[in-house]
Amino acid sequence: AQSVSQHNHHVILSEAASLELGCNYSYGGTVNLFWYVQYPGQHLQLLLKYFSGDPLVKGIKGFEAEFIKSKFSFNLRKPSVQWSDTAEYFCAVISMEYGNKLVFGAGTILRVKS
Amino acid sequence: DAGVIQSPRHEVTEMGQEVTLRCKPISGHNSLFWYRQTMMRGLELLIYFNNNVPIDDSGMPEDRFSAKMPNASFSTLKIQPSEPRDSAVYFCASSFLGSGANVLTFGAGSRLTVL
């Protein structure tokens, strides 16, 4: 079955620490990959996306993600987190083989301590 | 653009009552999605439409749930009768599905509490 796996459900970091959130998917073929962020009490906002080309994509607020096709992974990174990055982060995948469905991972709750 | 607009933002109702959630997608978008978010199950795709036609409703939990899209600027998600386990945040999202990639924009959500 198609699935998106996020390795950590809760992550706690201190300000200025580096962040890496793991994401793996089980789809074959062509995929579009996304990271969305949900700040407390708010709706989902797009952080970054990968469709084709350079596998290292840069998004808003200093976030970046790397698509490694051989590992079916799309990990999110940020060199130095801020307190304002406290939020829930969702990896999501659209597989061209399975139509237009955007399937989300379970989410990772990030808490940044000031 | 005002983005994806959902109403109501909050709804509290009693078990057995009918609930109707509404969504206005971004003008020009041709795809619309309904998601449900709960602590236990995360974000689940319930149904999506393309050009007002339901394409995949395999995520709709049961017959109590129904969704319509009578035109390109309006969709409803109806639960009848509602049950406490339907309590969740329901998100609507829209996108333009064309030759390029497909990016969903989400609304603010409708938080439903069924007592």
SS (H, E, C) A16-70: CCCEEECEEECCCCCEEEEEEEECCCCCEEEEEEECCCCCEEECHHHCEEEEEHH
Q: Find the helix or strand (DSSP H, E) in which A4 lies.
A: strand A4-6
So what's the pLDDT on residue B70? 96
Q: Give A75-97 pLDDT, tens digit per residue.
A: 999 999 999 999 999 999 988 77
Encode pLDDT of A10-28 as tens digits.
999 999 999 999 999 998 7
The CA dihedral of B29, B31, B34, B37, to the nearest 10 degrees, is -80
Query: What is the per-residue pLDDT for B102?
Result: 79
Average pLDDT, chain A: 92
DSSP-derived letter for residue B25 is P
Cα nearest neighbour of B31 on chain A:
A100
Contact between chains at A34 and B109 (C-beta distance less than 8 A): no
* Mean pLDDT computed over B53-76: 94
What pLDDT was estimated at residue B24? 98
Average pLDDT over residues B38-67: 92
Mutate: best of B29, B37, B45, B58, partner A, most A CBs <10 A: B37
**Contact B97/A34, CB-based, under 8 Å?**
no
- Which residues of chain B neighbour A90 with C-beta distances below 8 Å? 43
A33-62, pLDDT tens digit by residue? 999 999 998 889 999 999 989 999 999 999
A96 part of contact set with chain B, CB < 8 Å: no
Rounded to whole angstroms, the Cα distance separating B12 from B19 reads 9
Instruction: Work out whether the CA dihedral B93, A52, A76, A6 comes out positive or negative.
Output: positive
Q: What is the per-residue pLDDT across B15-49, written as a single tens digit (0 to 9) for each?
A: 999 999 999 999 999 999 999 999 888 899 999 99
